[in-house]
Amino acid sequence: MRVLFVCSGGMSSAIVVQALKKEGEKQGVELDVQAVGTSDIEAELNKGWDLVMVAPQVRHRMESIQKAADQASVPCGAIPPQAYTPLGGPILLKTVKQLMGI
């Protein structure tokens, strides 16, 4: 499953990407997770992503991100703020599964 994580960049994004990948490995879910800034979202969405997740710091851009995701027919949802930690892997994976309808 290919997950695009829209964020403001920085170390916290890398930590969340790693937490989600590790949790996926633990539960046997193959994940390709990448982070991208909000300015790159329209171009990225056409690259075969299965899901777009939006970080708490860029929720103010949620409407435009959701619109771009809808145009590309990619499910899109917000990351719960409590999942945005190094230990947030279980919550992140649960959110991915909910958004994908798994």
pLDDT of residue 27: 93
pLDDT of 67 reads 93
Note the pTM of the prediction, 2 decimals: 0.87
Rounded alpha-carbon distances, angstroms, from residue 80 to 5, 58, 71, 72: 13, 12, 24, 23
pLDDT digits (tens, 9 = 90+) for 53-83: 999 888 899 999 999 999 999 999 999 888 8
Residue 41: pLDDT over 90: no
Q: Which token pair is 38?
A: 């909000």
Residue-wise pLDDT tens digits, 22-33: 999 999 999 999
Cα torsion 77, 74, 72, 32 to 10°: value is 100
Region of poorest pLDDT, from 29-33, 36-40, 67-71, 90-94: 36-40
Instruction: Kindly report the CATH number assigned to the domain that includes residue 59.
Output: 3.40.50.2300
Range of the domain at 73: 2-100
Here the tokens at position 66 are 């959701």
Handedness of CA 22, 26, 28, 29 (dihedral sign): negative
What's the pLDDT at 83? Answer: 84
pLDDT band at 43 (very low <50, low <70, confident <90, very high): confident
Domain count, the chain: 1
